[in-house]
Amino acid sequence: MPSSPASEVLTFADIESAQEVLKGVAVVTPVLESPLLNAALGFRLRVKAEPLQITGSFKFRGAYNAISRIPEDRREAGVVAFSSGNHAQGVAASMLGLPSVILMPKDAPKTKVELTRAWGAEVVTFDRFTESREELGAKLREDRDATLIKPYDDPLIMAGQGTLAAEAVRACAADGWTPDVFISPCGGGGLIAGCSTAVRALSPETDVYSAEPAGFDDTARSLAAHKRLANDPAARSICDALLAPEPGELTFAVNSERLTGGLSVTDDEALTAMAVAFKYLKLVVEPGGAVALAAAITGKLECRGSNVLVVCSGGNADADVYARALSRPLPF
């Protein structure tokens, strides 16, 4: 790859280095396929099943990669992290023997808060619509002299998340299957930045798209406008994992070069995708984790006849939201 803003932020070598760190620690999650779902859709769909990752989402990959590189003399002070609700940072810190404080939004799913505490992390809650998690995080970091682990705008985080796509593309290649299209959920853009870097390196002909919830399609709009645009602060979505206010500075530097485009889906479409994953894949997916699958199965792209690889990025759904998804009539 020629030198460019993106290649100064993140290269495939960074992802390969993260793969070394994660070896034997992160789960090599399977790629699932349902022949019956393929028949209903008219194209071949494969799903990287990241809900089966330790902690139930991809976020463990980036968190572990970043925390594992904290210098010896900074480990005792621990880490401060803010997460859109997943508890990966707390788990990764705990596995590496570092104390952690996790800032979580007050309205995060109860499951996620509970699981984070169960891993031994200290949880501090904030109101995501009136308080700045960045300010709270900075203050906590200062008070405790801890290392701040950003949720996405950090090359080590992006590199960790990108290992997921490297695994998936290589697993598919092993049985002679090349994706024409790759779609991944997108919040702040760390996952798709890592994934697009891996896909471009391993499968340069594959088109790469981000998928976002309607109202939080900042990456899609920013890609079209060639500059970072924020979401309307009044927007709401059930996709709690994907509610970043705008693309990250570093993630957008990567994504603006490496993505083909951005897609968005409604909350209803995300719920439908959850029900499809239940019926055809037997995989529990949370709303935000289901947006790429939703984009593929609701025709946001013309996929007929193609090989489509989507990431289901997490499965930490509350039971009531899940039951709501299952109560819906399915299109097939």
DSSP per position, 27-88: --PPEE--HHHHHHHTSEEEEEEGGGSGGGBTHHHHHHHHHTTS-HHHHTT-EEEE-SS--H
Cα R_g (the chain), whole angstroms = 18
Selected range binding a second copy among 186-194, 196-204, 219-227, 279-287, rule: CB under 8 A: 279-287
For the segment 228-267, give every residue that binds a second copy (CB under 8 A).
none
Contacting residue, 56, 62, 162, 262, with a second copy by CB under 8 A: 56
Selected range binding a second copy among 114-122, 123-131, 145-153, 244-252, rule: CB under 8 A: 114-122
Contacting residue, 119, 209, 216, 252, with a second copy by CB under 8 A: 119
The single residue listed with the structure tokens 């799913």 is 109
CB of 289 to a second copy, least distance (A): 9
**Residues in contact with 7: Cβ distance below 8 Å, sequence separation at least 6, in sequence order:** 1
Would you count residue 282 as binding a second copy (CB under 8 A)?
yes
Would you count residue 110 as binding a second copy (CB under 8 A)?
no
Would you count residue 32 as binding a second copy (CB under 8 A)?
yes
**Which of 30/245 has CB closer to a second copy?**
30
Contacting residue, 51, 162, 179, 247, with a second copy by CB under 8 A: 51
Q: How far apart are CA 332 and CA 37, in angstroms?
A: 8
Alpha helices in 145-215 (DSSP H): 155-174, 190-202
Q: Cα-flanking dihedrals φ and ψ of residue 79, to 5°?
A: -125, 150
**Maximal CA-CA distance, the chain:** 57
Would you count residue 35 as binding a second copy (CB under 8 A)?
yes
Binding site for a second copy (CB under 8 A): 24, 27, 29-30, 32, 34-36, 39, 49, 51-52, 54, 56, 111, 115, 118-119, 175, 275, 278-279, 281-285, 315, 319, 322-323, 326-327
